[in-house]
Amino acid sequence: MKNTSVGVDLAKRVIQACVVKNNKVVSNEAIAADDFSAWLANMKPTIVVFEACGTSNYWKQIALELGHDARLISAKLVSKIRQLLNPVSLLILISFRVKRFSSKSFNLL
């Protein structure tokens, strides 16, 4: 779990998941929302980070039930740099920086 993290961009129909292991992008894939819980279930326990939104609490609970260390990032923090990066680049950045996350602060840059 220590060397792997997943940044997740939630949407209605397609969920983008970026897996980073040992500071390298292992996969960056679009997953149908209906298949995302099965995808999480097939992963070894890891850190999974969601941007806070309408469905993020639901997915966080699913991830926790499956043994993952699930975390939410304030949309306010993400919005500061969202205009600088495309969604995939933002997701990769979050996946790399997640290990510096604490409950009080999360510096993306």
pLDDT of 79-96, one tens digit each? 666 655 556 666 666 665
For the stretch 35-64, pLDDT in tens is 999 999 999 999 898 888 889 999 999 999
Cα(32)–Cα(26) distance, integer angstroms: 19
CATH superfamily of 4-100: YqgF/RNase H-like domain (3.30.420.140)
Q: Domains of the chain: which residue ranges?
A: 4-100
CA R_g for the chain:
13
Q: What is the pTM of this model?
A: 0.77
